[in-house]
Amino acid sequence: MVTAAQPLALPGTRARRPHAALRHLGPNWYAGVMGTAIVATAGAGLPGDVPGLSTVCAAVWALALTLLAVLLGARTLHWAHHRDQARAHLRDPAVAPFYGCLAMALVAVGGGALVVGEAWIGTRAALALDVVLFTAGTAVALTAAVAVPYLLVTRHPAGAAAATPVWLLPVVAPMVSAAAGPLLVPHLPPGQARESLLLACVAMFGLSLLATALMLPAIFARLLTSGPLPAALTPALFLVLGPLGQSTTATDKFARYAPGVVPDPYAQGFGVLALLYGVPVMGFALLWLGLAGAMVLRARRRGMGFTMTWWAFTFPVGTCVTGAEGLARRTGLAAFDGLAVVLYAVLVAAWAVAAVRTGRGLLSGELLAAPRR
């Protein structure tokens, strides 16, 4: 059975056809694109003026765009030549939720085009790219938010002991669109178009937030009643940070782009929401970061090796960086600036480790080998 953790290689496996190596390429690989894109966009919002940082962020975004293009091509070949395996992924409760990663990768790279890529490719190209990727990513996100839970309920229902943070991936995907959509608001004609997009993003925020609120108690109850997750799956605990940091980021974006789009009382209300929602949620995110970090250290001491779940250390932490950056701009508090810098350092370190280990696993063939049961 395919698991959320990427498998080790079986000795002596070799590809007989050019596309044979892609047989076990699952949708979880999009997490690497997400993690790379958030390094670029989160770095662009850091306080101060660090020489060369904008250039580095643009280069990292270009890398994320390249990885997305390559992976989309590889996944297309996977569906064309290994349709049976692709359908098996949809039937596997450990793999199906990762289709939310496809949506988040598309939206994250698209948003990065306007945040950091514009200086390299120009406003028109950046806008066109964001429109295409945001539209496609949002369509996939809304589909996954309905289809994957439906499959979990009807095709492979599991007991409470099987609950993992991976279940959050499809319902968190619309929150990424909610946070990225406001970037397109100023580029639309004034009036109905701008207000419709902004309020659609607010609706996706509510959709994702309430769905997350339904699932989080099951995940926490599973930890309390059944103990720690398997070692290879322990990094997935960091996925809980995703909806927390991304929702804080989204409320800040609503407040920033609402003036002139919605009537004044509501525009001011978004500013109040960004502060009164963002601060307590960021507090809970730090609590969960401490808990998840302790669980990962425990698993590491017990022999936890590298798997593709290590990419969970990147994008969710990055959303907390962008959330802290938004709170810093809104409050003017140096504490939030410092929090953003510290979390960004954690993000870059985690990304570097995951990228190096992934590259090593690809060169050796371990990460694309058939899974062990």
Give the tens place of pLDDT for each residue, 95-111.
Answer: 899 999 999 999 999 99
**How deeply is 191 buried, as exposed, middle or buried, from its count of CB atoms within 10 A (0-12, 13-18, 19+)?**
exposed
Q: Are 292 and 241 in contact (CB under 8 A)?
A: yes
* Per-residue tokens: 333: 């508090």
Ranking 64-68, 189-193, 221-225, 306-310 by mean pLDDT, the lowest is: 221-225
Residue 332: which region, alpha, beta or left (left: phi > 0; alpha: psi -120 to 50)?
A: left
| Backbone dihedral angles phi then psi of residue 223, each to the nearest 5 degrees | -65, -40
* Residue 7 clears pLDDT 70, i.e. is over it: no
Shortest CA distance to 296 belongs to which of 345, 237, 354, 344?
A: 237
pTM of the full structure = 0.92
Chain mean pLDDT for the chain: 91
* Residue 12 clears pLDDT 60, i.e. is over it: no
Q: Token match 């049961």: residue?
A: 373
Mean pLDDT of the 215-225 span = 91
Give the tens place of pLDDT for each residue, 158-170.
Answer: 666 778 999 999 9
**Is the pLDDT higher at 90 or at 239?**
239
What is the pLDDT, as a whole number, of residue 94? 83
Mean pLDDT of the 342-357 span = 97
**How deeply is 322 buried, as exposed, middle or buried, from its count of CB atoms within 10 A (0-12, 13-18, 19+)?**
buried
What amino acid is encoded at 289 in this protein? L
What is the pLDDT, as a whole number, of residue 154? 85
Q: Are 163 and 240 in contact (CB under 8 A)?
A: no
Mean pLDDT of the 196-209 span = 97
